[in-house]
Amino acid sequence: MSESSRDSITGLIHHPYQPPAGFDAPQVGVFKASTVIFKDTKALRARDWRHRDGYTYGLHGTPTTFTLEERIATLEGGLQCVLVPSGLAAVAIVDFALLRPGDEVLLPNNVYGPSRELARNELKEFGVSFRLYDPMDAAALAAMIGPQTKLVWLEAAGSVTMEFPDLAGLAAAAKARGVLTALDNTWGAGIAFKPFELGIDIVMQALTKFPSGGGDVLMGSVTTRDNALHERIKLTHMRMGWGVADWCCARCRPSPCATTPTTPRRARWRPGWRRGRRSRACCTRRWKARRAMHTGRPPAHRPPACSR
Ligand SMILES: Cc1ncc(COP(=O)(O)O)c(C=O)c1O
């Protein structure tokens, strides 16, 4: 390549044209980049990828990902959020950030299947053990927690059985023994109830489901309220290199009222809730099920923040 053609290519990349500042729209802009440009070497050396006050590398944040992280944190009632490439990756990053060889993690017996498979395979091979607990019995969970237990997973409603546990009771049982709790809030989607108000430490969601809704996005989020906890997850995120596609962020509208290219999010979430209530009624009627724990049960069976 001749010098002059190389100069002209460089000139195209570092083009003098700057679009006017101040463009604003309801949709968040899609910024896609691996390398970001620093003003000078001093700025490069001073970079700090842990915080959202600047950009360091595409994997660690762009205006698009930072904006979605902030919105999900607000929706969940948390303070910080990290995006990952899928809901299962959100489960995995919590496990990898918080568990070390010799530790134990407790999972509800109706946990999302692939979360259990992760514990049964990779975690076991890394020296982390797991046991299943009955999510409908907080006292039994309390009795299971031992010195090795470092993390208790919660899920509400539980995958497939749709049992709705006493989240506050389970979180209190873990907290009393100094053990962290992490909730898979995919079903609640940040709309059904406010997990941090129930004493939960970490909340993840498969954004693949309600927040995106179009069937074309795979993404997950991990939200916290504690800076030290967030930093542990963020550090693991950086070391794992789990970036997300910026266009997926743009298709993900965390606000319950904001529209996706298809339907408002609350409108997508409500039919699922109603179907759950209908199947509860149907099971009770047809098979005389002794108990059906979907949140459609009377308020006494729901966590307090779930009564609307
Ligand atoms: C409760 C729950 N958690 C996590 C996931 C994982 O999400 P993803 O498919 O984005 O990995 C799912 C997906 O079905 C889910 O239902």
In a structure prediction context, what are the per-residue pLDDT tens digits for the chain, which is 308 residues long? 666 666 788 888 888 898 899 988 888 889 988 999 899 999 999 888 777 788 999 999 999 999 999 999 999 999 999 999 999 999 999 999 999 999 999 999 999 999 999 999 999 999 999 999 999 999 999 999 999 999 999 999 888 788 889 999 999 999 999 999 999 999 888 888 999 999 999 999 999 988 887 788 999 999 999 999 999 999 999 999 999 998 889 888 766 554 443 444 555 566 666 666 666 666 666 555 555 555 444 334 444 443 33
pTM of the complete model? 0.84
Pocket-forming residues, ligand 1, beta carbon under 6 Å = 86-88, 112, 159, 184, 186, 206, 208, 218, 220
Residue 21 CA to residue 25 CA, distance in Å, equals 13
Q: Whose CA is closest to 162, among 289, 263, 72, 252?
A: 289
Q: Please report the atom of ligand 1 found closest to the CA of residue 218.
A: 10
* pLDDT at residue 134 in the model: 96
Domains of the chain, by residue range, sit at 44-251, 265-306
How do beta strands 220-224 and 202-206 pair? Answer: antiparallel
Pocket test for ligand 1, best of 93, 111, 112, 248 (most atoms within 8 A of CB): 112
Pocket test for ligand 1, best of 83, 86, 88 (most atoms within 8 A of CB): 88
Q: Rounded to the nearest whole angstrom, what is the distance from the C-alpha of residue 219 to the centroid of ligand 1?
A: 9
Residue 217 CA to residue 122 CA, distance in Å, equals 26
Q: Rounded to the nearest whole angstrom, what is the distance from the C-alpha of residue 90 to the centroid of ligand 1?
A: 9
Q: Rounded to the nearest whole angstrom, what is the distance from the C-alpha of residue 44 to the centroid of ligand 1?
A: 37
Q: Rounded to the nearest whole angstrom, what is the distance from the C-alpha of residue 14 to the centroid of ligand 1?
A: 41
* pLDDT at residue 213 in the model: 76
Query: With b meaning 16 or more CB within 10 Å and e meaning fewer, what string describes 128-159?
Result: bbbeebebbbbeebbebbeeebbbbbbbbbbb
Which fold does the domain 44-251 belong to in CATH? Answer: Aspartate Aminotransferase; domain 2 (3.40.640)
Location of structure tokens 């460089």: 10
